[in-house]
Amino acid sequence: MNIRLTHLDGKLPNLALMKLAYWHRACGDAVFLERSPTPKLWEPAYDKVYASTIFDWTKPIVARLKATWPEAIVAGTGSGGWATVEQAIGETVYEHYDYSIYPGYPWSLGFTQRGCRLNCGFCVVPKKEGKPRSTNTIWDIWRPGMPRCVHLLDNDFFGQPADQWRARIEELHAGNFKVCFNQGVNIRMVTPETAAVLASVRYFDDQFLRHRLYTAWDNLGQEKVFFRGMELLKEAGIPAKHLMVYMLIGYKPGETMEEILYRYQRLKDAGVLPFPMVYRDSPDYKRLRRFARWVIRRLDTQVPWANYTTKRAILRGASTGGSPAASRLL
């Protein structure tokens, strides 16, 4: 059979599609990975089509795929359906992955735990996965013979039983692994012990190029507990410059631009790297996307926000002290 696996969103390899690739190839099927929701001229006829999606903004893309292949099996958080690979292939547990469908990916990725202790209104993880539980070891995730660089997709690494996360840390030490906590560490729940543990491992960004820990400050009301966590990390030896802080904006009803700018400036003053994440259903989505672009593209170092709100003002700001490069990055 010819099997089409469709990767609709996300930058990292899709674990669900990798499972399906392994299973179908073990059955003797021909597997094809595509990223377009519509077929290219040279694609063969398919006996079965799968698609996996993480983000709900892909719904129009899913609709295009379904228009071509009405019988396609589409799952993932972004699809609104939470069917698992195991359900699709009739297995109870299936932990085999075919990395060959992503030939340019040199590292290893996976989960040591699923679920989350918290219940944030904007997050689907607790509803989908429930309370934290342990799944795989670092040795389970790592591909022998490949670089000792591991992307962990855990949503709440320290939420799993303490004996389990301590064992995972020991495995990182024993294997001298570089690790990317891709989904971030919950800074609000950092303790002196977990801060010291984080400082003891070789934490890196998602390209394994520089030291980086990801975390979040999503609510202005959590200011005190956020900076308490930052202080614990600092005391453990983790400098502020190693932190990238996601800041959800546009989610809280009535949130003002002044409150967003205050949160942003507090992070800048603390020496961390802010990364605004715009809530897609915000009534002020366009302006907030513009703000996010201003921060993420580092235009905040070139032109003040007040001068970035219109293209004409940007050019005016650049001509009065801002960099002309700022206007070219629009």
Enclosing H/E stretch for 286: helix 285-296
3-state secondary structure of 145: coil
CA torsion, ordered 135, 137, 142, 144, to nearest 10 deg: -130
- Tell me which DSSP letter residue 44 carries: P
pLDDT at 93: 84
Question: pLDDT for 191-208, tens place per residue?
Answer: 999 999 999 999 999 999
Sequence ranges of the domains in the chain: 2-89, 102-328
pLDDT at 123: 79
pLDDT at 187: 94
Residue 33, amino acid:
L
- Tell me which DSSP letter residue 159 carries: G
Phi, psi of 319 (to 5 degrees): -75, -15
* SS3 labels along 185-237: CCHHHCCHHHHHHHHHCEECCCCCCCCCEEEECCCHHHHHHHHHHHHHHHHHC
pLDDT at 132: 85
- In the block, which residue shows the tokens 């209104």? 121
CA distance 190 to 243: 14
Q: Which residues pair with 276 in a beta bridge?
A: 247
- Tell me which DSSP letter residue 81 carries: B
Non-local CB neighbours of 258 within 8 Å, separated by 6+ positions: none
Q: Which residues pair with 52 in a beta bridge?
A: 7, 75
pTM more than 0.75: yes
pLDDT above 80 for 212: yes
Enclosing H/E stretch for 113: strand 113-114
Question: pLDDT for 50-69, tens place per residue?
Answer: 999 988 889 899 999 999 99
Angle at 82 between CA 139 and CA 46, to 5 degrees: 90
CA distance 130 to 123: 12
> Is residue 107 classed exposed, middle or buried when 0-12, 13-18 and 19+ CB atoms within 10 A define those classes?
buried
Residue 12: HSE in the Cβ half-sphere, 13 Å Cα cutoff = 17
Q: How far is CA 127 from the centre of its chain?
A: 18
pLDDT above 70 for 108: yes
Q: Which residues pair with 30 in a beta bridge?
A: 2
